[in-house]
Amino acid sequence: MRSFSLWVPIAFAAVVFAVPAKDCAHKVKERVPPPRGWTKSAPAPADHIIELRIALPQPKFSELEQHLYEVSDPFGTRYGQHLSKEEVESLIAPEPESIHLVNEWLASHGLIEENLSRSPAKDWVIVKVPVSLAEEMLKTEYHVWTHDASGDAVVRTTAYSIPEHLDDHVELIQPTTSFSRFRNLKTSFRINDAQEKSALIPADAPPISVPSASGGHVDASCNQTITITCLLELYNAVGFKASAHNGNQIGITGYLEQFANKHDLQLFYADQRPDALNSSFKTILINGGENNQTLSEAGAEANLDTQFAYGLTFPTPGTFFSTGGRPPFKPDTLTPSDTNEPYSEWLDFVLAQKTLPQTISTSYADDEQTVPVSFAKRVCNGFAQLGARGVSLMFSSGDGGVGDGEEDPALQQCFTNDGRNVTRFVLSVPRVPFVTAVGGTIHIPETAVFFSGGGFSDVFPRPAYQELAVSKFLDTLAPGTYKGLFNPNGRAIPDVAAQADLFRIFLSGRPVSIGGTSAAAPTFSGIVSLLNSARLSKGLPPLGFLNPLIYTIHALEASAFNDITVGNNPGCGTPGFNATKGWDPVTGVGTPNFGKLKDIVTLDLLHIPGL
C-alpha cells in the first residue's frame, strides 16, 4: 500500500541536515520545447500534490527481451515456455547501487522509506510530494498548462534536473515533461430507433456470401447492425464452445470513469447471447478506480468493450480493470493528486499479480509525440514483461486515420511537437513492438473503415517480425509518396483488424449503435481468447505475445487472415494509406479466420506441413 504523510517541517529538517546530498550539483535530465497547442498559465500552487514516479534503470532488460522473443517464436524450441512473475522481476531489477543512491537523495529531502512505494522489482519508486518540494528536488518550476482546444489542464514543466551523480541511476521522472491527453478511442456514437432501423433490410434478404465465413455466408442484417452472431459467422467461429473451467480468462481495461454496467450487460445478453443470462464479470479497482452501477453513469466505451468481449467468449471468466487517475484535470478544481499516467498505474497493479488474464484488451491511447520518448520506452518495457509471462495484449489502433485521433479533421494537429512544427502524420500510442494493434473494417464483404488508425512510429524502430510484410507494402508505394510525413523505418501499425462500426450495445437501458477501433480491439481479443481456450483445453500454454506468430502465419498460411484490399484511412488533409494485398497500414494482415487459426495453434506448430 502507498503511504504518505503531509509534511512535518521540524522532523524533515533534521533529516535534511543529516544528509547533504540535496545540495550537490545538478544536471538537466530532460528538456522539451513548449508543447504545441498548450498555453502556460499560472505557476502551479505550491501545496498541490503530485505523484512523482522515478524509474531506475533495468540493466538486464535486453535479456528479458531475448526471452520474450524466444518464447514467442512459433518455430523456436522454447515456444510457449513463458516466464514466471519472479523470473521476470529478476530480469528487470535495478542494480543495488542505484537503489542505494536514489534512497540517499530522497532521504536528503526528507523522504524516507515509509513515504515511498516501490514496484515489486524495485525498478520504480513512487512518492507523493507537494509542488514546492518537487521543484526543489528537480531544480525546476511547475506551471499549470492549459490545452487550447479542450480547456483541460495539467501541472507540468518543460525541463528538470537531478544530481549529477544520479545520472546513470535514474532513467526518468514523471510527471514532468509529458503533455499527453489520454483518451478513449470512439469515433461514433448514435442512439438509434431499433424498430425503425430493422426495417431497412428485409427479414428475408438472402445471406451474404463470404467463403471464409462459417457456412460460407453471413446474415444480410450484419451490413446494418453488428451483433455477436455476425462476428461469429464472419470470423468462422460458429459452433465453438469456450471452456469455463480450463483456466482461461479475458480482461478489459477501463479508464476515465468509464463504468461497465451489469444491468446493461444482462439486456445485451437477452438480446444477443441468451445462454449467458445471469452471468457476469469480476471488477477490480486500481488507483482509486470506481464501480458506479447507477444506470445513468454507464460508460459507452466500457459497455462496448465488456459486452462484446464477454459475449464472444462466454462462458470464459471475465475481468474489468477500473483504473482511476483521470487526466487531465480542470485548473479551477485542483485535485489532491495529479496522477496523469494511468497506463503506469495499471501496469503497477497487474505486474504485481501472480495470475493474470491470458488476453487483455485496451481501447485508450495518447498521441505518440506528446509522450516523452524515455517514458514511452519504459511503458513499452512493462508490456514486454506481460508478454513474457504469457499475456496477449491488444490495443485499438486509433480513430483518426493517419491523423492524431480527433474525430473532426479540422481539429487534427498534424504537426511535430518538437518545436519545428513540421507537417507530419501523427500516431496514437502505445504503438510499441510488444502489443498487437487492431485496425478497423466495415461492412460485408469487409473493407477498411475510413477512421482506422495506421502508420509508422517515430519512436520505435520496425521489429524483425514484421520486416518482410511491411517492406513489401513500402515497395508498392510510388517513389516519394508522403515523403517526410512518416518514418518508413518505424514500427508499423496496425497488425490486424476487425469490424469497427455499427455495433449494437445497450447503454443506460437503451440499445445504441456505436463504432470505432475501440470496437475492433475487444472483437479481435475475443477471437484470441477463444484460441487460448482451445489451446488450454488441449494442455497447451496460452499464446502470449502474438505478433511473431501473426506475421509467421500470414507469410505461410495467408488464408488464416481475411485480406482487406479496399479502403483507405484519410487524415492530415491527405487520403492516407490504401488497403492493399498483404499487410497495409490500415488493416494490417487482415481480419481473423478463427477456424483456420484454431487448426494451426492447437497443433504442434513445428510440424505443420508448409508452416
Contacts of 540 (CB under 8 A, 6+ apart): 80, 601, 602
The 3-state DSSP class for residue 471 equals: helix
Q: Is 518 a catalytic residue?
A: yes
Amino acid (one-letter) located at 39: T
Options 301, 341, 345, 368, the catalytic residue: 301
Third-level CATH fold of 246-329+338-601: Rossmann fold (3.40.50)
pLDDT value, residue 253: 95
Which listed residue (72, 518, 529, 533) is catalytic? 518
> Binding residue per annotation — 564?
yes
* Ranges in the chain, pLDDT < 50: 1-19, 194-196, 198, 327-339, 606-609
- Residues 6 or more apart whose Cβ sits within 8 Å of residue 196: none
Cβ-Cβ contacts under 8 Å for 389 (sequence gap 6 or more): 82, 83, 84, 85, 88, 356, 544
Sheet holding 143-147, edge to edge: 38-43, 143-147, 153-156
> Which of 252, 340, 277 is CA-nearest to residue 519?
252
161, 140 Cβ separation under 8 angstroms: yes
Q: Tell me: the pLDDT tens digits for 338-385?
A: 445 677 889 999 999 999 999 999 988 666 666 778 888 998 999 999
- Amino acid 568: pLDDT: 97
Residue 203, φ and ψ in degrees, nearest 5? -60, -25
Q: What is the pLDDT of residue 18?
A: 44
Is 600 assigned to a binding site? no
Our answer to whether residue 301 is catalytic in this structure is yes
The answer to whether the annotation marks 582 as part of a ligand binding site is yes
Can you give the pLDDT at residue 501? 95
- pLDDT, tens only, 316-346: 999 999 998 654 444 444 443 444 567 788 9
| Residue 186: per-residue pLDDT | 55
Hey, where are the domains in the chain?
A: 9-58+93-179, 246-329+338-601
Expressed in percent and rounded to 5, the helix, strand and coil fractions of the chain are: 35, 20, 45
Give pLDDT, residue 147.
Answer: 81
Q: 255-300, pLDDT tens digit by residue?
A: 888 899 999 999 999 999 999 999 999 999 998 888 999 999 999 9
Grid cell in block for residue 253: 481495461
332 among known catalytic residues: no
DSSP 495-534: SEEEE-S-EEEEETTEEEEEESHHHHHHHHHHHHHHHHHH
Q: How do 49-55 and 490-493 pair as beta strands?
A: unpaired
- Do residues 181 and 154 make contact, with C-beta atoms less than 8 angstroms apart? no
Q: What is the pLDDT of residue 373?
A: 84
604 assigned ligand-binding residue: no
The reported pLDDT for the residue numbered 429 is: 58
pLDDT at 15: 42
Catalytic residue among 89, 123, 219, 305: 305
C-alpha cell at 52: 512523482
pTM for this structure? Answer: 0.91
